Amino acid sequence: MLLCIDCGNTNTVFSIWDGREFLCTLRTSTHHARTADAYFTWYSTLIKHYGIDTDITDVIISSTVPRVVFNLRVFSDRFFGCRPMVVGRPECLLPIQARVDAGTAVGPDRLVNSAGAFDRHGGDLIVVDFGTATTFDVVAEDGAYVGGVIAPGVNLSLEALHMGAAALPHVDISRPDKVIGTNTVQCIQSGVFWGYVGLVTGITERIRKEYARPMRIIGTGGLAPLFAQGDMLFDTIEDDLTMHGLTVIHAYNKENGIAHEQ
Ligand SMILES: Nc1ncnc2c1ncn2[C@@H]1O[C@H](COP(=O)(O)OP(=O)(O)OP(=O)(O)O)[C@@H](O)[C@H]1O
Ligand SMILES: CC(C)(CO)[C@@H](O)C(=O)NCCC(=O)O
Ligand SMILES: [K+]
């Protein structure tokens, strides 16, 4: 069985892939100081709670936070006796190219999303991921990641308003029925929600114009369903896209790589 680990700047997600389906998905906050033993305590408690029969033989990691990888390597080695594949390391091959400026270190999550989306849908895609940042990844006809857009994430924007303005409270995102808010909370929710609808619509329209070929738009990340409500922002929404990309990259390396033998 394969343990897929996706570390974002806010959350770290573990999913167990048995070759056919994901048996479970576990989520914790990302914290670079978490030790291998602490990961295992958390992991084994939840696995026991869900009563899942696991036999982890392989681990693959994508991390946007470089510092967490060391402890996850120790975790993988100590508790599963295996050396993890780490997306972005030279020994981890990718089934897709990254055609970007020389010296650019593309976020591994964006490469994983591109690989996962290309595997499911073929090329000419825009993948929109609502994480800590809201990212747009453009996937070419041959599956290559050819660039995109990075915008501040929804929760970061809400937090920035609260941090920067003494009279603005912390507000959770939700979809307001109206645009014109009649109290402070509604005004903030309207600004961020409808602002993001405008951002996604405007950026995808501009990408389509610049790319000059028909493209499909895939939404992913925890907030994608909220933004899809009532507005035709996406062709499909897939909450497991990053995890699927990790299984695709793992399988590709099993067939073509040497990473797993090191
Ligand atoms: N209706 C909602 N209101 C507020 N937050 C929500 C809602 N639905 C989902 N979320 C939040 O979305 C987050 C899941 O998003 P996702 O895992 O895609 O990105 P993230 O963990 O915020 O960012 P990163 O992957 O960069 O760490 C969770 O923290 C979840 O609490
Ligand atoms: C943009 C984020 C933070 C989104 O998780 C991540 O993909 C990242 O750190 N990227 C590095 C820069 C880039 O992708 O061009
Ligand atoms: K994410």
| Residue 235 annotated among the catalytic residues of the structure | no
Whole-number Å distance, alpha carbon 181 to ligand 3 midpoint, is: 30
The neighbouring-strand residues paired with 3 are 16, 59
Residue-wise pLDDT for 85-132, tens only, equals 999 999 999 999 999 999 999 999 999 999 999 999 999 999 999 999
186 to each of 62, 164, 197, 221, how far by Cα in Å? 37, 18, 16, 24
Is the CB of 107 inside a 6 Å radius of any atom of ligand 1? no
Q: Which of 111, 135, 138 to mutate to test the pocket of ligand 2 (most atoms within 8 A of CB)?
A: 135
Query: Any binding-site annotation on 37?
Result: no
Q: How confident is the model at residue 231 (pLDDT cuts 50, 70, 90)?
A: confident
> Are 80 and 56 in contact, with CB atoms under 8 Å apart?
yes
ipTM of the complex: 0.93
The neighbouring-strand residues paired with 12 are 7, 28
pLDDT of residue 230: 64
Catalytic residue among 109, 119, 124, 137: 109
Query: Any binding-site annotation on 235?
Result: no
3-state helix, strand, coil in the chain (%, to 5): 40, 20, 35
The neighbouring-strand residues paired with 24 are 16
pLDDT of residue 262: 47
The type of residue at 148 is G
112 token code pair? 């994983």
Query: Any binding-site annotation on 81?
Result: no
Residue 97 DSSP code: -
Is the CB of 110 inside a 6 Å radius of any atom of ligand 2? yes
Q: Is pLDDT of 29 > 60?
A: yes
Residue nearest to atom 13 of ligand 1 (CA): 222
